[in-house]
Structure formats: structure tokens, C-alpha cells
Structure 1
């Protein structure tokens, strides 16, 4: 992956993260199951961190 592709992927992952975070807030409010969202947010955080390391 070149630098631009990595930056684009990070932007895409951040967008997914924001969406999932909002979904998680809604689930917490209605006392729904939050396990999937929490795991997915952690996965996205790790993937973003790994991509940022590649940029350095």
C-alpha cells in the first residue's frame, strides 16, 4: 500500500468507528447487547493504530 492508500483506509476506518460508536450509545441507552459493537470498535482501533505505524 502506498501512503495515499493508507491514509484513505484510515479515513474509512475512522468513519466506521464514528458510526459504530453512535450505534453503541444508542444500544446502551435502550439496554441492548453491546458486545459486538465493543469488539468491533477495539478491532478498528487496532487496525487504525497499525496503519498509522506504517505511515511512520
Structure 2
């Protein structure tokens, strides 16, 4: 995986993270079930950390 691929994946994950954060805020407002979204957000955070580490190693 080259630098551009990693940067592209990071950008996609950030966009997905922002979308999920907005969805989470909406669910909090209507007292919806939050745990599935929280798990997805945690997974994205983990993946972003991994990709950022790979980017630093290049």
C-alpha cells in the first residue's frame, strides 16, 4: 500500500466517522439505541490509528 492509498483511506474513514457522529447525535436526541454506532465509531478510530501509524512508517 502506498502513501496515496493510505491517505485516501484515511479521508474516507474521516468522512464516515463524521457521518456516524451526526447519526449518533440524532439518536441521542430521540433516545435511540447507541451501542451499534458507538462500536462502529470505535472501529473507525482503531483503523484510523493503524493507518496513521503506517503513514508515519513510510
Q: Smaller-chain TM-score range?
A: over 0.9
**Structure 1 unmatched ranges of 5 or more:** none
Between the aligned partners of 2:54 and 2:41, the Cα distance in structure 1 is 20
TM-score by length of 1: 0.99
| CA distance in 2 between partners of 1:32 and 1:55 (Å) | 37
Structure 2 unaligned regions, length at least 5: none
* Root-mean-square deviation over aligned CA pairs: 0.3
Q: Which has the higher contact order (CA 8 A, sep 6+)?
A: 2
Instruction: Give the total of aligned pairs.
Output: 56
TM-score for both structures, normalised by structure 2: 0.95
Q: Partners in 1 of 2:47 and 2:27 — Cα distance?
A: 24
